[in-house]
Amino acid sequence: MSLRVVAHRGASGSYPENTLASFQAALDVGAEIVEMDVQLSRDGELVVIHDPTLDRTTGGSGRVGEWSLAEIRKLSAGFPDRFGDRFREQRVPTFAEALELVRGRAQVLVEIKPESVADGGDEGIEARTLAAIDAAGMRGGAGVTSFHLGALARCRELSPEVPRVPLFKSGSAAEMVAAARGLGAELALPFKGLLSDELLRLAREAGVGLAAWVVDDPEELRELARFELHGIGTNRPAEMLAAIRSVGATPAADG
C-alpha cells in the first residue's frame, strides 16, 4: 500500500504557511499532495489562509471576512512572529493563484474552513471552491476536506465526482466511519491521536481508508505504520519523504 505525503499548508515547517513560497517548497521536494485552506473575503473572493482572522500570520488584524480582497492583498503574509522580515514580500494567495502554481505538479486537498460555511446555495464557499477547481482544469486532481460535514455533503451534491475527505478532531471510531460512509468518502482523516485498533477494524470492514494529521517525526511515522495509513499530513514533507525512502518502502508496508 502506498503512503502519500500531504504537505500541510505547504512546507509550513520551514516557510510561512499557505503562501506560494510554502507551496513551491513542497513541490520542490516532491510532495504528491499539497493541502491548503480557503476562506471568503468580504467581497466573496476565495483566499488561502487558515485562521478566521488575519492576526497570527499576516500584518493585519480582524476577521478575514471583514476585509476585501484588495485590502488583504496589501498585507504581508510572511508570518512575522515566526520568520521576522524574511518573507515579508509574501502575500495571501488567491485560491486561483495557488491552483495555478500546483496544477500539473501535484494534487490539491482543499480544506473548507467552517467559519466561511453558510447557507449560501450556489453562492456559498462550497460552490465557489468547486467552480474554481473547474476553472483551473483540476477536477481530476483535487479533493475537498473539512471538519464541517454539512459542507462536504453540499460538495457531494454539487460535484459528486470530486473526492471528499472528512476531518476529525474528536469522535468515536464508529461515528467517524459512519460519517465517512454517509458522505461516500473513500478516506477519513482523523487527528493521529484518534487512531486505534477499533478504528482500523471498522474502517477495513467499511472499505474506508485512513490518513492522519499532523506527523512530522520519522519515528512517530514508524509507530503509526500499523494503522495502514494511506496518507499523512505533515508540515515537513521533505523529512517525511526522506524517511519513507530510507527504508525502501512505505512505512505502512513495513508494518
- Element containing residue 192 per DSSP (H, E): none
Q: What is the pTM of this model?
A: 0.94
Torsion sign across C-alpha atoms 181, 227, 11, 244: negative
pLDDT of 120: 63
Of 3, 5, 8, 146, the catalytic one is 8
Do residues 142 and 198 touch, judged by C-beta distance below 8 A? no
**What class, spelled out in words, does domain 4-52+95-254 have in CATH?**
alpha beta
The pLDDT tens digits of the residues spanning 129-150 come to 999 999 999 999 999 999 999 9
Amino acid (one-letter) located at 158: L
Of 9, 12, 48, 50, the catalytic one is 50
**Calpha distance 229→178 (Å, rounded):** 18
**Burial class of 64 by CB neighbour count within 10 A (0 to 12, 13 to 18, 19+):** buried
The pLDDT tens digits of the residues spanning 26-75 come to 999 999 999 999 999 999 999 999 999 999 999 999 999 999 999 999 99
pLDDT of 119: 76
pLDDT of 37: 98
Q: How far is CA 248 from CA 5, 9, 126, 245, in A?
A: 15, 27, 39, 5
pLDDT of 24: 98
Grid look-up 476531518 returns 167
pLDDT of 121: 66
Do residues 93 and 69 touch, judged by C-beta distance below 8 A? no
DSSP 125: H
pLDDT of 46: 97
**Does the active-site annotation cover 8?**
yes
